Chain A
Amino acid sequence: MAVSVSGEGAFIVELDRFQGPLDLLLHLIREQDIDIFDIPIARITQQFLQAIEGVEQRLGIDRAGEFLEMAATLVRIKAQMLLPRRVDESGELIDPRAELVRRLLEYEHFREAAQRLAEAEAERALHYARGFVPPMPKPEPKDNLELTWEELLAAAMAVGERARPPAEHRVVARAVPLEEKIALIIETLERFARVEFRRLVRPFADRLHAVVTLMAGLELTRQRRVALRQREPFAPLWIYRRNGKPSDADVADH
């Protein structure tokens, strides 16, 4: 029995045999044949507090909190019992114990259901399924390794190789605005009928400028405002004004 009465009438309880404060409280009530709808709250509170004495040391602070919370609830109900009863909307007296009783009965219901499950489990356990699943072999302690420093180093390097994090793919906002390059092409072609792509790009060190300039050229081509011409692969790329009258005289690369 998890609860026994000592000489002074105090309860000595093995707390870890209970599934929390509701289980303990229910045990105290049922053990003494107390009517759950008329719990002598002062007596039960005292017994509960005695049962959980030193709970922080016995169960650790995490599980203790749940018991202490219930203790606080009991003390609050005990105090409310001394005050004049309040009434609800329909004029009936509110019993301060009502919510606790509801929780205890709900918990007891599921504790009973768990008991039925345990019985079903025990019955099922009498039937064995066919088939043997071999137990996992216990890892045997290995002998001391015999190897050279070079082998160890090589192994460590191989681990490093495998463990290297995947290369990061960084996406940064485009530092070179497309509009800027479009404006550059248009401005240049206002003065010259054609311009070589390389001349627009050469002043800038970053390759991104070449990329964005090409994108600008393609965009303007799409809008039919310029034409891109290249005689053969890797030959110089020329950008031509579309609506102007191209003539050799006003070429940009003189």
Chain B
Amino acid sequence: MQTSQIIEALLFASDAPLSAEDLARAHEDLDEDAVEAAIQALRAEYDATGRAFQIYEVAGGYQILTRPEAAPYLERFRTVPQPARLSAAALEVLAIILYRQPIGRAEIEEIRGISSAGVLRTLQDRGLIDVVGRAEGLGRPLLYGTTQRFLEHFGFRSLHDVPRPEELPVVLREHVSRQKETAAT
């Protein structure tokens, strides 16, 4: 079997993104460069033959997904699993965790001005956030961070791929400059 066929089979059968490193474990003769080359070849082939799917980079790995043009047809079918959308509250809490991780519940609630325990539990149940440590201080509160599953859900390649806080229209000058100060010291 050709390398590109092995890679194609793995991406076809996997239900989560696979990194080049993961894929290289398929055969002793494979390394990451060979995997990347095979993926480029497959991509070109899918474009040339007009396949309805393509290999996308998601969450530090590769995944076969349908092209966006297919969405209007797919969303009508009950046998096609439809992507779940998060609530506004869940997105708000995720945004705070994303840019301030690791962060505890009290800090999140301070920023939002409302209780957030239920939202945190839901996000954790869905694997989008996880406990990444404990803060110093009274009660050693749990600290949350985003997960691999988070990157997958939003289609980000990595945490460097998320919108940069400076690009957001309302920039918290104070916080950004404070971060720069700590980075400089």
Contact = CB atoms under 8 A, between A and B. Distances in A.
The yes or no verdict on A and B being binding partners is: yes
Interface of A: 19-22, 62-63, 66, 70, 102-103, 105-118, 120-133
B133 interface: no
A106 B89 CA distance: 16
Contacts of B71: 125-128
Given A120-B155, A128-B66, 5 more contacts: A20-B114, A113-B95, A113-B98, A127-B68, A128-B83
Contacts of B156: 120
Of the listed residues A21, A126, A132, the one surrounded by the most CB atoms of chain B closer than 10 A to its CB is A126
A108 B66 CA distance: 35
Contacts of A111: 92, 95
Contacts of B56: 127
B92 A121 contact: no
B12 interface: yes
A63 B168 contact: no
A219 B96 CA distance: 65
Nearest to B119: A19
B66 A118 contact: no
Contacts of A113: 95-96, 98-99, 163, 165, 168
19 contacts: A21-B114, A66-B113, A66-B114, A109-B171, A110-B111, A112-B168, A113-B99, A113-B163, A113-B168, A116-B95, A116-B168, A118-B86, A118-B88, A126-B71, A127-B56, A127-B65, A127-B71, A128-B74, A131-B15
Given A126-B68, A128-B71, A128-B80, A109 B168 contact: yes
Contacts of B168: 109, 112-113, 116
Contact of A118 (B74, B91, B113, B175): B91
Contacts of A109: 165, 168, 170-172
A157 to B, nearest CB: 37
A118 B74 CA distance: 20
A166 B66 CA distance: 53
Interface residues of B, number: 47
Nearest to B91: A114
A63 to B, nearest CB: 7
Nearest to B17: A129
A111 B67 CA distance: 30
Interface of B: 12, 15, 53, 56, 63-68, 70-71, 74, 79-81, 83, 85-86, 88-89, 91-92, 94-96, 98-99, 111-115, 153-156, 162-163, 165, 168-172, 174-175
A125 B172 CA distance: 30
A126 B53 CA distance: 12
A121 B153 contact: yes
Contacts of B81: 128-129, 131-133
User: Which 8 A-B residue pairings sit nearest by Cβ, starting from the closest?
Assistant: A124-B155, A20-B114, A113-B95, A127-B65, A126-B68, A114-B91, A125-B83, A114-B95
Contacts of B153: 121, 124
A131 B14 CA distance: 9
B171 A22 contact: no
A19 B65 contact: no
A107 B112 CA distance: 6
Contacts of A112: 168-170
A115 B170 CA distance: 12
A128 B70 contact: yes
B35 to A, nearest CB: 19
B113 A70 contact: yes
B172 A21 contact: no
A133 B84 CA distance: 13
A107 B155 CA distance: 25
A20 B137 CA distance: 28
A126 B112 CA distance: 30
Nearest to A122: B85
Given A117-B154, A125-B85, A130-B53, A19 B112 contact: yes
Contact of A117 (B66, B95, B113): B95
Given A19-B88, A109-B172, A129-B15, A123 B95 contact: no
